[in-house]
Amino acid sequence: MAGILVVGLGPCGLAAVKECAANGLDVVGVDAAAEIGGVFRAHDDGCYEGLHLTTSNVMMAFGDFPPNDGWIKYSTKDEYAAYLKRYVDTFDLAKRLELRTKVIRASRDNGAWKVVTLSDAFDVTRDFAGLVVATGANATPKMPTCFAGFQGKITHSKDYKERSRFAGARVLVVGAGESASDIAAEIARVAKATAVWSRRPVVFAPRFPELNLTDPNHDEYATLLDSKALRVNDFLEWATTARVGSFWPVWAYGGARQLFWRLLRSDGRAPAQAREMARGALLATNGHGLRAFWQADQSQWVTKNARVCKAIAEGSVRHVVAEAVASCSGSEITFSTGERVAADAIVCCTGYGLDFSWIAADLGCDAARPRELYKHCFPPKFEDAPVAFLGLARGHQGGIPQCGELQARYAALLFAGKAALPEDLSARAAAEGAAEREYYGRSPNLEVLVDLPSYMESVARLIGCEPRVPWWRPALCVKFLFYPAWPCWYRLRGPGADEAAAMAVLDAFPLAKSLKFTPFLPLFPVFWGFQRGVNVAAFPFVRGTPGPLRPGWLGATSKHFVLHGNALRFVDLVMP
């Protein structure tokens, strides 16, 4: 019986192969495609022109494999595909990979996974001790059913490649996520008319938040094409994942965002697209009660791509906000608000569903609902059916590979017998899932959503690789507090540590050249110090593993300790 089978060779699957091999396991990785990378594979025709990642090259990099760009930037899909190829070559993973190999069925038999794969038209059945499912959250495209009667062409964003096919056409883009923002902005450059439909107002998070306040001529897309002059705290991930910010209470974290949007909305110097972004955010977060005001964007999914805001502000894209489509007739679409859009084509940026029907085993939960899995990864019956699902945790403030790498590290330790899951696995999964559902109450169907800093810290505790920076290294301590929660921080200690690789990243961004003074910078240490005092006072009452959100969670402890079982401990009061 072979060791571990990894299904899917995108970023998370590659990390799983590497981590299993590093822990002495016999591991095989398979993918139905002809090359590695998943949605980022080099020749994936499902990726569209103009695609840039929504987290930086440093945040998307594995903790023990620094990017070689030389500066912080938003990589293109092709650049990230090349990074993954270097990762495979550096760690000599190719010999463990089987491409053009599709898994047909995985079932349990006599304590083993009996897996049937199809390769070169031949079925092969093999036994494995453990299974890693890294097919990701983009398995099955979701298509809306509300356009009956529409006579134009309807496609999913998975099939969108470039804008030229829509030249001179009237186009409706459905959805308001990252792909919709890119696709609508691109199509608007050649189409006769472009509209975007979302069911509710959208919170757009700009990739370079503060430039919207300080640079009246700021253009997000133009800036990401040439970001060499920018510093670490110009990037969105600084404002959303820096440890000093994560230590704020939820009300302060959300209140700062309300202030930011209001400054943008009232600043006549700000670019029109920035004011449009602020208008959408304020509409989305108001009208839902006092808690929603102070929680702000923390109660829902945020689109980390504000490109389309410029097009909306300039009038080349029309934004329709309506709960439903009332009717379709020929080329005319009437919405529940009474608004009408004429379209020759519809592009549905409506996301994907999960399909694990090929797994024939009792897992004790529905794996297609990630909040039923412990850490979005491990089923309650892991001991009976050892399987780990990677890529089902997507950071509210980041992406999937950052979480997936830590999931892979913990899964490899479990398979190698070097770690153990909690005894009350099922109860913990249920409690953490319930807390997430309440916290992200306005995105109830997006079960992959997690609070990235808190989630990564909670998994790092299980691994034993939480970063604990010595106070006698002042420069590193400042970076620890003020730099984003990059994956490299989780390689400084514990199993799988690679301090040289981690420091290669951190040393590449010296304080003097990487941080700049901004109007918001002083708020971070002020609230951090204040909240540490609150944490000390609250510690006797809120320690232990949290279940559903406790009364007072908006301000009783730091946001860092609200979700994912990331309980406040005494050591957190002494050293963050």
pLDDT of the residue at 287: 67
d(CA 547, CA 565): 7
Of the candidates 214, 221, 231, 177, which has an alpha carbon nearest to the alpha carbon of residue 58?
231
Q: 348 Cβ partners below 8 Å, 6+ apart? A: 141, 142, 143, 144, 154, 155, 156, 157, 174, 175
- State the Cα angle at 182 between 274 and 184, rounded to 5°: 90
Inter-residue contact 71 to 321 (CB < 8 Å): no
d(CA 10, CA 263): 40
Residues 382-391 pLDDT 10s: 999 999 999 9
Token output for 129 = 């001790």
Please give the span between the terminal C-alpha atoms of the chain, in angstroms, as a whole number. 44
d(CA 234, CA 471): 26
pLDDT of the residue at 494: 96
Ramachandran angles phi, psi of 81, nearest 5°:
-60, -40
Taking residues 502-519, what's their average pLDDT? 89
Where does 326-424 have alpha helices with state H?
401-415
pLDDT of the residue at 576: 56
On whether the pTM is more than 0.85, the answer is yes
Q: Is the pLDDT of residue 231 over 70?
A: yes
Q: Do the bridges between strand 140-141 and strand 153-156 make them parallel or antiparallel, or are there none, so unpaired?
A: unpaired
Least confident of 48-57, 292-301, 442-451, 548-557: 548-557
d(CA 256, CA 266): 15
Average pLDDT of the chain is 89
pLDDT of the residue at 105: 96
d(CA 431, CA 179): 32
Rounded to the nearest 10°, the torsion over CA 59, 61, 63, 68 is -110
pLDDT of the residue at 175: 92
d(CA 54, CA 116): 36
Percent of residues, the chain, with pLDDT higher than 70: 96
pLDDT of the residue at 155: 93
pLDDT of the residue at 575: 62
Q: Is the pLDDT of residue 28 over 70?
A: yes
Residues 180-216 pLDDT 10s: 999 999 999 999 999 999 998 888 888 988 887 777 6
Side chain identity, residue 304:
K
pLDDT of the residue at 521: 75
Least confident of 71-80, 276-285, 320-329: 276-285
Q: Is the pLDDT of residue 239 over 70?
A: yes
Q: Do the bridges between strand 387-389 and strand 122-133 make them parallel or antiparallel, or are there none, so unpaired?
A: parallel
**What contacts 24+ positions apart, CB below 8 Å, involve 455-459?**
455/375, 455/393, 455/395, 455/403, 455/563, 455/564, 455/566, 456/402, 456/403, 456/406, 456/485, 456/487, 456/490, 457/560, 457/566, 458/375, 458/564, 458/565, 458/566, 459/375, 459/403, 459/406, 459/407, 459/410
Of the candidates 116, 87, 16, which has an alpha carbon nearest to the alpha carbon of residue 377?
16
Inter-residue contact 133 to 390 (CB < 8 Å): yes
Of the candidates 465, 479, 448, 450, which has an alpha carbon nearest to the alpha carbon of residue 406?
465
Token output for 110 = 């006599």
pLDDT of the residue at 81: 92
Binning pLDDT at 50, 70 and 90, where does residue 367 land?
Answer: very high
Binning pLDDT at 50, 70 and 90, where does residue 270 land?
Answer: confident
